[in-house]
């Protein structure tokens, strides 16, 4: 399942896209006014379907302006099937395109293929349930509330969050964060973990689990 944003000024096309992709189990947000995309938090989406020919601002211009803030695939929806338009769109950061009119079979196939193949590193935003990690801004947030972590607390939380299937001992955490051995790593990391938990507890969230006798890991 993926969360997908579909932007098109044609409400009929949006309804078709919504119905087709929901059958695949995806969560769809549709947007008819292209200007509204600039006020959205794009980090919550896994893929964007973006119409090219729209009033006031076209899909190419939108792609150009959002590419630094959105890491996932962008698929253009376009009646412009000439080679120059395709090259322009891909050059601005698009990943693929669908020529209108497109079949629902092709729409589902293209979307699912990009989601399966998407392995690029998420350098801006990662959603962790109710928690959002903004790597570029080096901050965690819960429901748009920034968690006020110190530099060391952030580095520890980021390490665990980006390696959610791995358990880290206190010694391993210390060496990865500070880069050298130190006899007092136990108490240092323990206190940082306590502080991280305390700051998230304000929002009734406990993201770090203790694996007794081993270390810590980020809860899925």
Domains of the chain from N-terminus onward? 3-117 (3.40.50.2300), 125-218 (1.10.10.10)
Strands of the chain (E only): list them.
3-7, 27-31, 47-51, 74-78, 96-99, 125-128, 131-134, 139-142, 145-147, 208-211, 215-218
If DSSP codes are grouped into helix, strand and coil, which group holds residue 125? strand
pTM (predicted TM-score): 0.59
| Distance between CA atoms of residues 82 and 150, nearest Å | 52
- Digit-by-digit pLDDT tens for the chain (220 residues) are 889 999 999 999 999 999 999 999 999 999 999 889 998 889 889 999 999 989 888 899 999 899 888 878 899 998 876 667 777 777 778 888 888 888 999 899 889 888 877 655 556 778 888 999 988 888 999 988 999 998 888 989 999 999 987 999 998 998 888 765 555 556 678 888 989 999 999 999 999 999 998 999 998 6
Query: How many residues are recorded in the chain?
Result: 220
Give the tokens for residue 199. 């700051």
What is the rounded distance in angstroms from the CA atom of residue 72 to the CA atom of residue 77?
A: 16
Neighbours of 217 (CB within 10 A): 18
DSSP 44: G
């Amino acid at each position: 399942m993926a969360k997908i944003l579909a932007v098109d000024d044609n409400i009929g096309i949006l309804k078709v896209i919504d119905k087709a992709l929901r059958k695949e189990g995806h969560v769809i947000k549709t947007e008819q006014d292209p200007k509204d995309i600039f006020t959205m938090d794009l980090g919550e989406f896994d893929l964007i379907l973006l119409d090219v020919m729209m009033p006031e601002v076209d899909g190419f211009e939108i792609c150009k302006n959002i590419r630094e803030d959105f890491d996932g695939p962008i698929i253009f929806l376009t009646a412009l099937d000439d080679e120059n338009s395709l090259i322009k769109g891909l050059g601005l950061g698009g990943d693929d395109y669908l020529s209108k009119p497109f079949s629902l079979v092709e729409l589902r196939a293209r979307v699912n293929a990009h989601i399966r193949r998407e392995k690029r590193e998420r350098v801006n935003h990662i959603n962790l349930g109710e928690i959002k990690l903004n790597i570029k801004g080096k901050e965690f947030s819960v429901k748009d509330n920034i968690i006020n972590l110190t530099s060391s607390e952030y580095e520890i939380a980021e390490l665990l969050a980006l390696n959610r299937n791995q358990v880290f001992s206190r010694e391993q955490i210390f060496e990865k964060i500070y880069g050298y051995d130190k006899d007092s790593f136990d108490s240092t990391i323990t206190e940082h973990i306590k502080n991280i938990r305390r700051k998230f507890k304000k929002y009734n969230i406990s993201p770090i689990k203790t694996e007794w006798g081993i270390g810590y890991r980020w809860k899925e």
